[in-house]
Amino acid sequence: MKRLSIKKDSFAQAAIDELGWWRAHKFLFLRRTSQLSVFTLFAIGPWFGLWFLKGNLSSSELLGMIPLSDPLVSLQVLMTGHVPELSLLLGALIITLFYVIAGGRVFCSWVCPVNVITDCASWLRRQFNLPRTSEMPKNLRYYLLVMVLGLPLLTGITVWEWVNPVPLFYRAMLFGVGSGLWTLLAIFLLDLFISERAWCSHLCPTGALFALIGKLSPVKVSAVNAKNCDNCMDCFTVCPERQVLKPALKGKQMMITDSDCTQCGRCIDVCAQRVFQYQNRIALKAENKK
């Protein structure tokens, strides 16, 4: 039997040598801090009685006043034929507006806890040099999104919320409801052994809806120094949605406008040639008109 060998995670080595460890991991560190901070803000309520954010990622209240809710939950409730509570609708509107501006899949890379699990599977894949398996169709998540919204129409129940791994993670961690941990383990094993980035890049309907919400966001990653690219492929190795990189690097369009980009900033981190940057396309357009 062929033994698995641990491969040095060397894809970012050129960036570490060139820019130093911190600059080669900056956005990874900031993202983990953001994910942990959001979780902590929810956790200090049930754990220590400090109710800054009450609830979970599906529906919550900020400082006891401002409702925040997952737009996918509100849409599912609407599809059951029930009119959701005003606070749920208002909360969904606030969250939607935030991600229209910040970029929809910013939720995936900067907030969602499942992203930590899928990034971990991806990292292990690199370490053990696991073979790449066949790609799943990219549009699958959009078909699943239609199904998630269609099921309440047929059944009158928000079926997806029973198994949605995003709130399941929070329920398991905050309230010790352990049943959802099997779903999270299944996602980890799926990503690790069956298909690379299977869950977040191909299946998750929450990510699909946030990609649609963020289509017009002004914040984008841009290959500002594409001419400096030395084809080392480090950004392709680390990018969870590598199909979005090609048009920018091949000079078809400098800005990564594809809303599948999670704006994780890892391509910025690992590029020794400093090809990528965050940019504001509206500010840029205004500047170019001057």
Of residues 53 and 118, the one with the C-beta less far from ligand SF4: 118
Interface residue list for ligand SF4 (CB under 6 A): 107-108, 112, 114-115, 118, 166, 199-200, 204, 206-207, 221, 238-241, 244-245, 256, 261-267
For residues 206 and 273, which CB has a smaller minimum distance to ligand SF4 in the complex? 206
Q: Which structure tokens are listed for 186?
A: 């299944």
Closest separation in Å from C-beta 81 to ligand SF4: 26
When CB distances to ligand SF4 are compared, the closest residue is 207
User: Least distance from C-beta 238 to ligand SF4, angstroms?
Assistant: 6
Q: Are 275 and 228 in contact (CB under 8 A)?
A: yes
Least CB distance to ligand SF4 at residue 99 (A): 11
Report the half-sphere exposure of 65 (CA within 13 A, side-chain side). Answer: 1
Q: Which is nearer to ligand SF4, 88 or 199 (CB)?
A: 199
Nearer to ligand SF4 among residue 11 and residue 51 (C-beta): 11
Q: Of 77 and 256, which CB lies nearer to ligand SF4 in the complex structure?
A: 256
* Nearest CB to ligand SF4, comparing residues 85 and 171: 171
Among 177, 179, 106, 104, smallest CA distance to 145 is for 104
